[in-house]
């Protein structure tokens, strides 16, 4: 979190544990450093130690990095960046899915949309989140594009972050619920342009809702 927030700046070494705290073992220290290095947050230099990398080097698609950014001071900016990413990918995925989705994928999309409606009165709880994540992961997989499908964890991190940081309303937006059902139906009908437009509206509604709820917390 100190790296993400900038408290340990680019080019600085990771500090030693504060005096008075129980010191971690060398094995634990090496493992933690290895994980941070795999996320490209730090580079380990011989005789120097772990040095913080510039933001442009970070693996910002790593779900843990996303979660740390959501805990940081620019939560709204991070969520907006993720919404822009979704807006670039998910509508295209919906269009492709209309031509490529397998019957079982369409069935999973439809069931997820039904489950979202079933849990609409607890949209800020886990059952609704699970259905929402299933819908969007399945959508990306249904595109038939492996690179889109690989973004499933990123989109799931956005949805989970909204719930974890109390940026979901208790009652789901009725228009958003209807649009999820529309996307599933339009994909089944093979209407790529219609599915794309409906998905664009879903992402726009989500981004606007995040903005409103973030402001209400200030």
Which pLDDT tens digit goes with each residue over 26-39?
788 889 899 999 99
Q: Are 112 and 135 in contact (CB under 8 A)?
A: yes
Strand partners, 13: 51
Using alpha carbons, select from 71, 129, 142 the residue that is nearest to residue 101. Answer: 142
Higher pLDDT, 76 or 12: 12
Other C-beta atoms within 10 Å of 185: how many? 17
Q: What pTM did the predictor assign?
A: 0.86
Residue 20's contacts (CB-CB under 8 Å, 6 or more residues apart) are none
DSSP state of 54: P
3-state secondary structure of 49: strand
95-114: average pLDDT: 97
pLDDT on residue 27: 84
Q: Can you list the domains of the chain with their CATH numbers?
A: 2-57 (1.10.10.10), 63-217 (1.20.120.530)
Q: How far apart are CA 172 and CA 204, in angstroms?
A: 15
- Could you tell me where the DSSP H helices lie in 101-191? 103-118, 126-142, 146-149, 152-164, 174-189
Torsion of CA 45, 50, 51, 56, to 10 degrees: 100
As a whole number, the mean pLDDT across the chain is: 91
pLDDT on residue 30: 86
**Whose structure tokens read 């900038």?**
6
In the predicted structure, residue 84 carries a pLDDT above the cut 70: yes
Structure tokens at 143: 């595109």
């Amino acid at each position: 979190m100190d790296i993400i927030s900038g408290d340990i700046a680019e080019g600085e070494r990771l500090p030693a544990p504060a005096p008075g705290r129980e010191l971690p073992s060398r094995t634990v220290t090496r493992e933690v450093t290895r994980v941070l290095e795999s996320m490209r947050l730090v580079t380990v230099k011989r005789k120097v130690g772990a040095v913080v990398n510039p933001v442009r080097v970070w693996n910002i698609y790593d779900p843990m990095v996303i979660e740390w950014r959501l805990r940081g001071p620019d939560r709204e900016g991070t969520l907006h960046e993720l919404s822009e990413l979704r807006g670039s990918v998910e509508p295209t995925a919906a269009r492709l899915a209309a031509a490529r989705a397998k019957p079982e994928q369409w069935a999973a999309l439809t069931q997820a949309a039904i489950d979202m409606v079933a849990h609409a009165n607890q949209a800020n709880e886990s059952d609704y989140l699970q259905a929402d994540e299933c819908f969007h992961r399945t959508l990306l997989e249904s595109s038939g594009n492996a690179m889109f499908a690989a973004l499933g964890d990123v989109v799931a991190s956005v949805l989970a972050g909204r719930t974890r940081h109390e940026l979901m309303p208790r009652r789901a937006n009725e228009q958003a619920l209807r649009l999820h059902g529309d996307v599933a139906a339009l994909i089944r009908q093979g209407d790529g342009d219609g599915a794309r437009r409906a998905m664009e509206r879903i992402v726009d509604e989500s981004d606007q809702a995040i903005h409103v709820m973030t402001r209400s917390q200030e």
